[in-house]
Amino acid sequence: MLALEEFPSGKDSWNSIRLDHNPRVEKWVNLYRGVQSDKFADLLIRKERFDEIIQTHLQLRGMPRELVFIPMIESEYLPQAVSPASAVGLWQFMGPTAEHLGLRLDPFVDERRDPVRATEAALDYFAYLHKRFGGSWYLAAAAFNAGPGRLERVLLRHAADKEWDDALFWEIDQYLPRETREYVPKMIAVARLAREVVPRESPQSYITPYRYDNIFVPGGTALRSVADALGVDLESVLALNPHLTQKVTPPNEMHAVRVPVGTGAVAVAGLSGSLPLARADD
């Protein structure tokens, strides 16, 4: 995996996105401190599975660390999450948006479910939205949720003569869909609270980070065959390959399969003894 530089602790490491205090934000702060406090703590633990991947790509792009919490709002850090509107994955992409961003969607592969590829696409998209909407992360987040076209229409109709900045979100949010009106306050509340919460001891506290080796296998290779070659249960291989929706690699092409880190050579030997091995950061 790409090396993740240790970020400094304390307030100074959390100032990339302005964290406003207002009644809309405080509503979510109080909710996550109160009746949803156990759920919030569990989600912070679940976040550990993908924290390294997301933070690494944020750091590479020089983007705010607070964006690591967007998948908490979108999918509760579940790569297989599907919304009633058919948005899919950690970052909840709709099909057309995913394809526009270069993600693969076909009967065998849905990269919206791939934590790595979806994260790369989501952060590229956020960077684009940030630039498009005046350098405002609040407006970028609103556009990520509602769609840039819808947000731009609202801005041109109700704020055409105003500077597009974070403060403007609170002036025009009344014209946005209800989900989007709450999206930015949730983002701010979660980022603020994450500084305060000390993860409690639970069986989930030992979640394994999403790390892997890549092996390249012929088309039509069943993930069960990979698991058998490793001598591990199928679920451990499926958990690393949620984007292979048929539990088999696409036909007629060599394709990467992710296996537990450190086991790539064993898998290659067990499958054929001659397939090339690549580390996850190759």
Q: Tell me the three state secondary structure of residue 198.
A: coil
| Catalytic site residue from 74, 111, 120, 182 | 74
Amino acid at 164: W
Q: Is 74 a catalytic residue?
A: yes
Is 127 in contact with 120 (CB distance < 8 Å)?
Answer: no
Alpha-carbon gap, residue 258 to 156, rounded angstroms: 46
Amino acid at 240: L
Alpha-carbon gap, residue 107 to 43, rounded angstroms: 31
Which residues, including other chains, have CB under 8 Å from residue 220's CB and lie 6 or more apart? Answer: 248, 249, 250, 251
Alpha-carbon gap, residue 240 to 4, rounded angstroms: 20
Amino acid at 33: R
Is 218 in contact with 177 (CB distance < 8 Å)?
Answer: no
Indicate which residues carry an active-site annotation.
74
